[in-house]
Structure formats: C-alpha cells, structure tokens
Structure 1
C-alpha cells in the first residue's frame, strides 16, 4: 500500500478536474494513490478515467449526490495511507509537492498537519494576489522564516482570528484525520473546525514557506451568484464561533476563545461582501452580513 493518499472529492468543471488529476500524476515521487470520488453526473468522466490506465488511480461515482460535506467525509473514510491530502478538484500540485512534503515529514515525523508553500491562481490559471490573500498573509498568517512548528492554543487563536490556511494543500496524518473527520453540522467552515478539533487533541502543524508546491485556485465571485450574497455562510460562522469559544474557555484556552468570539477576519469578509449584496438587491443577505460584521462576541442565546 502506498504511504500517501491524494483524495479528490469532485463536482463541477470537467477540464479543471482533469488538470488537477494530471498534476497529481506528474509528481516526481511516484509512490502514491489517487482516489477520485465523483459527486456529479458528467457523462464523459468515467470513460476518461478508464482510459488513463494508471493503477494508482481509483475512480468511483456516488450513486446519488452527497453534497460537499458528506463527500468530504466519504473521502476521509476511504483513505488508507499514513498521510492524506484532500485537494480541491480545480487546484494544481507542483511536480515536487509530494517530494517536498515527504522531506518535511521526515524532519518532523510527529506532525499531524503540514501546511506547505502555496501560490494563488485565478480561474485561468494565472498567479494572482487579491485582497483576500494579501490580508491573509499580511494580517493573519504567522511570520515564518523557512519552517515553523505550531500547535495548541497558539495556533488555535491564530486561525480563529483569521483562517490563513489553504485547506486543500494541507497534508494530514491519516490516523488522526480518520479519527476526527469533518463535522456534520457545517458546510462552509468545516475545514477550520477540523483543524481546531485536531489541535484540541494535541496535533501539531508544520508551516513551510521555503518552497512553493501548490496552486490554490480562487475564482472571482459572480455578482449574479445567489449563494454568494445570501449571507447564510456568516450565519453558520456565527454558530461555529460561539460554540467553539465556549468549548475553548472550558479547556482553559482563553486567548483562543477570545479570538473565536471576535473572529475579526470573518467580520471583515462580511464587510467586503456587503456592497455586492446591496448591488445584487439581496437586502436579506446584506442585513446578515452587516450584523455579522458589526457585532462580535454575542452568545447565541443572547
């Protein structure tokens, strides 16, 4: 059995998914398994995988659409390797991703998570640096010179203040990932919840800025997107931050609890989305965004 699993939950653009798969197959380190879990119905996809003829690639299509969270959970359940990546179906690996991450893990075998070096690309594959990513790096990401190990309340407070991680690029220790998995009750903030859950169990993260090995695709938000301006993502965020703050207080992590209650990056995100919601005529979404942006530290029962 390969010691490394790339799990690819797929739904959406066929061409971008194929590019993602090709980037996995182009790894300089060939010792891996790629598992694609197809949650869509595009007719040409099964045949494309069949013609690949690569025994490292395992493709399966869900009998019915599971949705994002349950498909992610299924990917975790199907993983077998000591280390696992749950990459986005439109993201790209540099050819030396696996080689680089293996070297990091040899240096830090105790690591439960590895956040490697990432660059952001747009929908056309052009390297870009928009406001969201500049804010991540300048305001919220820790200062890292080469590599840095973080864990416990320090890292929990950092990511709850502003989630600067690039989730699809992270390498997870398989045993820890499978023991926790994604929570059923979140569909937008589930990646942050998973990281905090693992930190509470004592897992450590290695942050590596020495080499860029992953391309994270960030698509522009369409003004016509109903979901983008509905504000429901912020309702979910409020529910999560309130619950995790109480839990971290009980654990004796007051700095992390305060970071969760203030959730400054999430509030800033809502503020930047507010004009678009108003232009799109989504008064309901704008109201939710304004409430989320302008009020912090509320308890759900307040």
Structure 2
C-alpha cells in the first residue's frame, strides 16, 4: 500500500452560505485561512446586503477565497443549494456562519477520505462552544453523546438500515462539520419544503442510496450552540416540531415500503425529537403560549 501524501488526497470545497452576523462570519473565514495544510478552497455566498462585506473580502486578496453576493435573497435552503452549484472539488463542507474550523480540519478530513476512498459522509470529532467561543456542555449535546451517538474508539464506518435507524432515534451528527462526497450530495441537493430538517432528510436519502458514514474521533471542528439560530427559534415556537413530525411520518412510510422495519419504527417513535420537545415545554408554559404548548405536548406524547 502506497503512503498517503497531500498530493493523493482529495481536495475540499469549503462552502459558507452567509446571512447574518458579520463578525461571526469573519471569525469563520479566519478559521479557514488558519488551516495547517493546503488542498482547500473557500467559497462564500452572501445572501444578505450588509455594508462593507464585499470590500472586506476584496481586502483579503487571497486566491483561495471566492466571494459571491446573490442579486436577490434566496433564503436558507435556496442559498445552500446555490453553494452546491458552485462546488467543483471532490469533497465539500457546508460551514455554518457561526461555526469554526480547528486548524487540523482539512488535514484530518482529507487523510480520512483518502483512507476510505468513495466514502459518502465523514463526521469528524466536534467541540461544542457557546456564543462567546467557550466550551459548552448543554443538555442537547450530552444526550447526543451519551444516548444516541455510537461509541467510537478510533474510527467507525456505518451504513444501511442500522445507520438510518440510529439517526431517526436521535440525530447525533453535526451537519456543518460533515464532509460530503460532492457527487453524492449534489445528486440529491436540499429540499425546498424544509427549513430545519434538511440535514436529516439529506442524510437519510444518501443512506437509502447506499452511501456510508465514517465517524472519526479526532476533534477538528467547533460547533457553536446558541439560542439565536433558526433551528433554536423554530423550536421555541413549535414550528420545528411540526416540520419534524411530517418528515418522520413520510420516512416511516417510505422505509416501511423498503422493508427497513427497524428504521420505520424508529421514525414513528422518534424518541430524540420527542425528548427535545419536552425540554421546550417549561418555557412555553412560563410564556403562557397555549398554542405552542399544545404543539410541543402533542409532538412529545402522541402520533397525531
């Protein structure tokens, strides 16, 4: 077996769909520029109109960085899809505006992809941080790691119905940290009818098509957990769970027809999503919002 070098490892398109906090976006960009190896290109697609952003990118004067501003607002899903249209390298990462790459991200992912040629998805090790960039240990991530995520000592390859069932019980992946095989993700793309569950829907579609997931232990990504994100806001007003319920029902039917009985049952039960809804109940009760409270309780304890 020949020794793996940077020359025979796949290159990565790091795609950053941007709309929102300019300061956080700059932090994310600087984290890419601080990579300890080459073999990457950063593409930023700006879906907003904040002043000074194009000029800031011009000042970087870095040929590894491409910047585009959409002539009209495409929304979250539309901008994600636009990013995919610009991908040209063998692998892609869809970096969140408020997340950070550790300096070893590209090196770690490229080496892993070379060891597992053709792997559809790579989940590297992730450190969760708060809005100030400090390590965070919240309930959501504790549940992910202790209940739903598999135990991985070195690295682990998963796929098929067992992986689908695992993610339907509780989605333990960190979407912005994932490295995707470009040909696989662009063949499916993002569903325009979803706002916060595009990640799970995409992962399940890829698994159904036979793509596998490689799970790594080396931490090389910093995922920011805070209450201002779209998914967090939708969780507090109940919209997230209405969307999740529809996706779970659809998936249960689909996997049932496929003969994936364990995965279909996991979709019907969706225990992780129910638990998440329960954690939002106290806030809804204190806010005396009966409509949201009803949505949360219905999602947590019924299949209606």
TM range (shorter): over 0.9
For 1:88 and 1:283, locate their aligned partners in 2 and report how far apart those are by CA, in whole Å.
33
Structure 2: gaps spanning 5 or more residues: 1-9
For the pair 1:67 / 2:96, whether they are aligned, the reply is no
SS at match of 1:182: coil
| Match among 191, 212, 222 for residue 219 of structure 2 | 212
TM-aligned CA deviation for residue 128 of structure 1: 1.1
* 8 A contact 2:235–2:241 mirrored in 1: no
1:97-136 equivalence runs, <5 A = 97-136=105-144
* 8 A contact 1:120–1:217 mirrored in 2: yes
- What RMSD in Å do the two structures reach over aligned CA positions? 1.4
Q: Tell me the residue number matched to 1:28.
A: 36
For 1:242 and 1:203, locate their aligned partners in 2 and report how far apart those are by CA, in whole Å.
22
* 8 A contact 1:229–1:286 mirrored in 2: no
Residues 117-143 of structure 1, C-alpha deviations (whole Å, 9 max, x = no match): 001000000011110000000010011
Q: Tell me the residue number matched to 1:164.
A: 172
SS at match of 2:213: strand
TM-aligned CA deviation for residue 107 of structure 1: 1.1
| Match among 4, 24, 27 for residue 19 of structure 1 | 27
* 8 A contact 1:221–1:228 mirrored in 2: no
* 8 A contact 1:229–1:282 mirrored in 2: no
Structure 1: gaps spanning 5 or more residues: none
Aligned residues, how many? 293
TM-aligned CA deviation for residue 153 of structure 1: 0.3
For 2:99 and 2:84, locate their aligned partners in 1 and report how far apart those are by CA, in whole Å.
18
For 1:70 and 1:286, locate their aligned partners in 2 and report how far apart those are by CA, in whole Å.
31
TM-aligned CA deviation for residue 221 of structure 1: 6.0
For 1:264 and 1:240, locate their aligned partners in 2 and report how far apart those are by CA, in whole Å.
14
Residues 281 and 183 (structure 1), Cα distance of their counterparts in 2 relative to 1, 3 Å cut: same
TM-aligned CA deviation for residue 73 of structure 1: 1.1
| Match among 55, 65, 74 for residue 57 of structure 1 | 65
TM-aligned CA deviation for residue 213 of structure 1: 0.2
Q: Tell me the residue number matched to 1:230.
A: 237
Q: TM-score, normalised by structure 2?
A: 0.94
| Match among 250, 253, 263 for residue 256 of structure 1 | 263
For 2:30 and 2:234, locate their aligned partners in 1 and report how far apart those are by CA, in whole Å.
30
* 8 A contact 2:118–2:181 mirrored in 1: no
* 8 A contact 2:19–2:46 mirrored in 1: yes
For 1:176 and 1:101, locate their aligned partners in 2 and report how far apart those are by CA, in whole Å.
17
